[in-house]
Amino acid sequence: MRHRMVREIGGRPQEWNARRAEAGPGAGPRGLDDRLDEQEEFSRHILERVGFPVYGVVGGAADGGEALTAFETCGGELCWVEVQCGDWASAAGPYVTVRTYRPGADGCERLPELEDVVEDERDRLYEQAGIDEGEGPGRVRALREWITVDGEPRAAEVHEDRPVLWPGMSAGPVWAGRLRVAGLTVTVCGRGVPSGGVELAGIRDFERHLRGRTALLGDLASRRARWVPVEERELPPVTGLEAHRALIAQSVAESSALESQLRAGRTPRLPRRLRGDAGAVRWEAAVRQQMRLATESREEAVAAVTAMVEHLDRLSRQTHWLVGTAEGEAAVEEVVRYTVFASEVASLPAQRAWAQLRRERPADGGAAVWEEQRMAEQLWLSAWEQWRVGRR
C-alpha cells in the first residue's frame, strides 16, 4: 500500500487547540512559533526535492499574498503542489489557487471534478473565515477560456458557479479551470478574478510562499486562540428531553443530506449549515442532560448518547418512514425515553435488538460473524416493523 501524506492550510478550531496542547503544559506563543518554524523547514525540505515545474499567478488583481497552500506526497514522491495569492479572507476576492500535478499523477489518483474544486474553495472560506456562501450548485456555466501560461494563451475547461444570493449576501462567482502544460495538469480556482484574466508562470523561488504559509498559519492560530472547547463552556439551559431531540434532528439531517448527495452522484460533503460549533453544542448539551436525568457518569452518558444517535441514524437509512411521519416522531420519542429513563416503551424489543446488533464482534470471525451480524440486523428491523403494525 502506498503511503500518502497531505499538508494543507486549514483545520477546525479544535484541531488547532490540539496542536497547541502538543507543545506541552504552559506552552505560550513561543511554543507556537517553534512549531511554525518546524513546519516551514519541513515544507522547505519537501519543495527542495520537487522534480517538476510548479506554477503560480504573476501580476494581475490577485497579485500579492502568496503562500504555499498544500502539497501531497505519494510513495515518497511529490504528487502535487498548490499555491495561493490574494485576499484569502474575502468572499469578494481577489483570490486564486493554482495546483500543479506532476506528470502521470492522474494515474496515482482520480483528479477532482471542477465542481468539487469550487465546493472545496467554499469550504475553505467557511472554515478559515467563517463565511457561508450557501450550498451549491447555484447558476452554473461551463466555459472554454484562455489562461496565459508563460506568456502563451492556453485553452482551459472552466466551471463557473454563481451562488443564489439572499438579502445581505454579497458573494460573487467562484470558478475552477483545468489545463495541460507540457505534460503537467494544472488546476486553477479563483474568486473576484475573471478566469481569462489569470496569468501563470513557473515558480523559481518558493521562499515568499513558505514565509506566506507560516504567516497565514500564525494568523489563523491567533484568530482561533480565543476558541474555548465546548466541554468547558457554559451552555444555555435546556429542559426535559429537548437536547436529545435537537441532537437527533441534526444527526438525521446530516445523514439524509449525505445520502441524497451520494444518490445524485456527487461527492458527499456535510452541508455547511450543519457544521461548526452548533453540532458540538447540541452534542454537549445532550450529554450533560443525560448525565443529569439518568444519573450517569460522563463516560456512561457519552456511550448512551452515541448509541442513541447511531440507532436512529441507521434506522433512517434502512427505512422510509422515520423522517416526516407521525410514526417516525413516535419512534424517536421512544428511543429517547429508553435512552434516558430505560422506560418500558412499546418498542422495547427493538431497543434490545439494537443493543444486540451493536455488540462488538471479533474482526477476524469470518463468514460466521458476518452471518450473525446480518441476522441481528434482520431481527432489529423486524422488531421495528412489528412495532409499526402494533400501532395501527
What are the tens digits of pLDDT across the range 20-41? Answer: 333 333 444 457 788 888 988 9
The predicted model gives 212-219 an average pLDDT of 89
What is the value of pTM for the model shown?
0.71
Q: Which three cell numbers stand for residue 209?
A: 510562499
**pLDDT tops 50 at residue 226:** yes
Q: Amino acid letter at 339? A: T
**What is the structure's pLDDT at 384?**
97
**What is the structure's pLDDT at 331?**
96
Using pLDDT thresholds of 50, 70 and 90, give the confidence band for residue 203: very high
**What is the structure's pLDDT at 34?**
86
Using pLDDT thresholds of 50, 70 and 90, give the confidence band for residue 61: low
Which run of H or of E encompasses 159? strand 152-162
Q: Do the strands 67-74 and 95-101 form a parallel or antiparallel pair, or are they unpaired? A: unpaired
23-32, 144-153, 162-171: which is most confident = 144-153
Domain boundaries defined on the chain? 4-224, 231-345
Q: 437527533: which residue's cell?
A: 248
Q: Cα 308 vs. chain centroid, distance in angstroms?
A: 23
**Which residue from 6, 13, 280 is spatially nearest to 128, judged by alpha carbons?**
13
